[in-house]
Structure 1
Amino acid sequence: MALKEQSIVVAGGGSTFTPGIIMMLLENLDKFPIRQIKFYDNDYDRQKQIADATEIILKERAPQIKFVATTDPEEAFTDIDFVMAHIRVGKYAMREKDEKIPLKYGVVGQETCGPGGIAYGMRSIGGVLELVDYMEKYSPDAWMLNYSNPAAIVAEATRKLRPNSKIINICDMPVGIEARMAEILGLESRKDMTIRYYGLNHFGWWTDIRDKDGNDLMPKIKEHVAEHGYVTPGELNGRPEEEIEPSWMHTFGKAKEVYALDPKVLPNTYLKYYFYPQDEVEHSNPEHTRANEVMENREKKVFSECNRIANIKTAKDAKLVTDDHASYIVDLARAIAYNTRERMLLIVPNNGSIVNFDPTAMVEIPCIVGSQGPEPLTMGEIPRFQKGLMEQQVGVEKLVVEAWAEGSYQKLWQALTLSRIVPNARIAKQILDDLIEANKEYWPELV
């Protein structure tokens, strides 16, 4: 029986990640057939550059797919099966402020962790809720697959403020690390592994990794991580499969120190910001942060390539490539559309999956995904060390969402103070006041 063709809107059509999604969708048309792709963005000029190239790519590779790029919500969200959402409210200009303002006070400046992540979360909540509302108004049977950052705060906001919405929050970071694990093991793909994992988004641990025959793969990965972190054998030998930016190489290497805190499990790389914040500040350049690196590299490369394709009117030699997270989102959409019952790592309400943890916390755990959405797997009890860390971080996330919903300065100050990354309440207040000034255009008014 032929698979039903799907209609998709990419919310954040002007994102540099959008071409990677399109390339992945085209590679998987046999497994996930598509009748229509739409782009939606509130920045016409930015989206147009990606859309012009995409239109040429589709005409050459899949002319049967109808393509629309629009800034009109009704046109974008009518007659769709999936919203693939990856918006960045304030774009990279605001990310740069998220990173540089905390560094003025000797505090980590990072996109999703600490003050920078809180600032970004306060901008993202309203944008993601707006997309949910458009979807429910114009295509109430559709699903939103959301990987807009900071995923932990956005997931808590949708749980609390849109509890009945058909939205699944995902993150590509574990996928990227698992690809490195597969390379360390000499496997062809991360899909050759079955994993157990628990935590919060950007704040979790692998507890078990096995091959399809049930053989334990953890010892070999641990041996490598204890010596090299998640730097792959190819990178160690000077033969990386792709060019990795210096900040990421530092992150993958730092996993060695993060792992040392609990060698029974394998950590997510983002834990470095919470365990060694002073190291990250020392390693940072307050004048040139990750946002600058992205704007100078990924942003320029993607837009330059899209404009080149649009100018020469052909994508036959296009240098646009599939992203790790694009493959993940296609797998998720397939699982829902065709009830594949795939096992995937998702951000979902705990509801007892982690037995000794807040049932309302949005946790990242393996789920079986079918046409009704995710069915979380039980992870059992977790150790005191991880539980204590996670409780503190969940407190931060919940306070941020409450601050946004209530317009509460006090709760946002408390959220910043509670973050492991911020040294004390006085510095938290100084950072908060600077962030309020920088985000006047984007945050609700706080009193």
Structure 2
Amino acid sequence: MSEGRDADAISRLQDFLRDSPTPWHATRNMAARLESAGFQRLEEIRDWALTPGGRYYVTRNDSSIIAFQLPAASLASLRMIGAHTDSPGLHVKPNATEHAAGWLQLGVQVYGGALLAPWFDRDLGLAGRVHVRHADGRLESRLMNVDRPVATIPNLAIHLDREANKGRAINPQTQMAPVLMQGESATLTSLVQTWLAREHGLKDVEVVDFELAFYDVQPPALVGVEQELVASARLDNLLSCFMGVEALLECDGEQGALLVANDHEEVGSASACGAQGPFLGDVLRRLNEQVGGGTEASLIQLIQSSCMISCDNAHALHPNFMDKHDANHGPAINQGPVIKINASQRYATNSATGALFRDVCRDADVPVQAFVTRADMGCGSTIGPITATEVGVPTLDVGVPQWAMHSIRETAGARDIHHLTRALRTFLDRPSLSLTR
């Protein structure tokens, strides 16, 4: 891409990150982008009428999305990209209202493997999904986004804890309840009703249930003397969602292409809309029935003729913690996408899928790196091994290198975003998924 197109992509990324504080908002924004490009929305509870060359998307739980481009010819294989819409953070408890020292606070539970210390002294907004009951008894779901600083988690002064800089443990039950307002009359329910009225004009509704989370309202930014870094909340893994959509919209459409972005990866993927659930398998079966061979055998043939690139960010070599990396496998920021490899199958890459991606990067004129965790350290995982296990599709794990994974604010390389997007687009355009040409 030209420098102008690169800058436009970074601007779109910043807008997407800022406007997607929760998986529901991210899914809604991805769907809107797809619809503006001509993708048609499908409903799982309806019959589908798919046509060759068509472009479609479907959501589940409003927090996971699958979009696909059908070839004009028969569907023999799919080039798949996988990502996830959720990020670690602080979720509000059902009976969250607390009062202490004359202040309204909300009890929270930790979602995923969040790095807790950076949450202190941040300007926090509140967002999520709320279910309300209207006066006529009708239930309705609405997204809510209070995108201004309405809460903070104040640190304890160093004068009151002289050992704070020596590794103090953080108790999320007793030390991390955000402070919202002075006084003891307000409740979470009354505040939500006020915010719904302001955002949606909803009045005289009863708040029945909700799923809400705090987030940092500091907007994304380009950082560094040369602006070579992107800093934002939720780079893991909205960055991969963004690059997947960009690649899908830029591909030539001649091959079968599919993007899946699952919720709940950060807590194990075990849900109806998670990678361990049946969402992708359900869609593949319906594709096979309508535009494939229509038999169980043809479904297996379709899956085994396809390939998935699971995109989830990788740990970049940290200049202050060089000893946390294997000396030969420390990916550098802005030096290209990273192939993630683990002998214990925490990543799904094998030599065949890894070779395919290296070949794709060569065709795209993109540098490529490899990551293997130190042999004396544990290794995280992704939707890659789970999808490979549930669906059976040949899979590899890749991602852009980043710092501060699972922090409230993470950092990645601006050039790497262009690198991986270009590689993904080349993968989607690839005429053959075989290494034999």
Which has the larger strand fraction? 2
Query: Considering the TM-score relative to the shorter chain, is it more than 0.5?
Result: no
TM-score after normalising by structure 2: 0.25
Which has the larger helix fraction? 1
Structure number with the bigger relative contact order (C-alpha 8 A, sep ≥ 6) is 2
